[in-house]
Amino acid sequence: MKEIKRVARMFLPQDYDKEEKFLSQMSLQGWHFIHFHPPVSYEFEKTQPKPYVYKLDFRNKKEDDIRSCIEMYEECGWEHVQEFRVFWGVWEYFRKESVYGEEKELFSDNESKIEMLTRIRRFYLFLGLFLLGINAVNFVNIMNLISRGFMSGLIALFIYGALISLYVKIYVSVSVKIDRLKRV
Amino acid sequence: MNSYEAIKAYIPMSETAYYILLSLTSPNHGYGIMQHVEELTSNRISLGAGTLYGSISKMERDGIIRFIDEQNKRKTYVITALGKDVLKTEIARITELYLNSRGVMEQ
């Protein structure tokens, strides 16, 4: 009988490196990542503890040939675990058993690390603006509700503000990471 | 890209790009490049798969390497004439650096 566990955890694009560590630590305890059900559910299966290294890559379907990207990773010994799509963006999850002396990073130079972060920043900036754009009509409605004194308008405005600050937070955090790498 | 544009875009070259291009003077695939670079540098440089993929797809787009064939999901690439121009220019630059620095520390 397979032992399955689900863990609730919010996926934040700017914290993908914490995500990698979290999945690697779970593997050390014998809980191996099977699937991520967006937005907050991680599924794990219990087997022998193994020192897996998990890594995430972010790609843009419009710019990258995802298939040949995954093939290249597999060629280099990475196992493709999961693909998590967000519109035209894709998060690719890979893992590899940790062997002493073997390369455990997907990106070995600063340039390619910065490129990945830039892909993340650009995508979430566009996504944020896109969502804001298609919700412009709702925004007008919300303002109408508020002006007529409806509580629901205020609640909707609050959700709006929270979403906008989430996207601003992503942009700022990723930018900080990029700047840190550029200073090296 | 013509030769002038390619030289302008690629030189000075990053270590990653330089060693990839050097590994592709004869046909090679991604994992082969990785191993070759580890051998050449006594494991000082171990290319990450993502770094490799990014560099190779950019170089292919710019026409300094080209795709030859695919076997068992392994794609083989080789340097182009344009790539050789770029590599020669970079080797000349590195040689100059080397010659200019020879003997300096012995004084």
Instruction: State whether residue B14 sits within 8 Å of chain A by CB.
Output: yes
What is the rounded end-to-end Cα distance, in angstroms, of chain A? 50
Between A44 and A159, name the one with better pLDDT: A44
In chain B, residues with a C-beta closer than 8 Å to the C-beta of A107 are 48, 50-51
Q: How high is the pLDDT of residue A83?
A: 92
Q: What is the pLDDT of residues A8-33, one digit of tens each?
A: 998 899 999 999 999 999 999 999 99
Contact yes or no for A75 and B16 at CB 8 A: no
Six token digits for residue B16? 């990653």
Six token digits for residue A27? 């593997």
**From the list A65, A72, A115, which residue is nearest B52 (CB)?**
A72
What's the mean per-residue pLDDT of chain A?
91
Other CB atoms within 10 Å distance of the CB of residue B55: 23
DSSP result, B37-71: HHHHTTTS----HHHHHHHHHHHHHHTSEEEEEEE
What's the mean per-residue pLDDT of chain B?
94
Q: What is the pLDDT of residues A48-98, one digit of tens each?
A: 888 999 999 999 998 888 999 999 999 999 999 999 999 999 999 999 998
CA distance A69 to chain B (A): 6
What pTM, to 2 d.p., does this model score? 0.89
Q: What is the ipTM of this complex?
A: 0.88
Q: How confident is the model at residue A137 (pLDDT cuts 50, 70, 90)?
A: confident
Q: How high is the pLDDT of residue A142?
A: 86
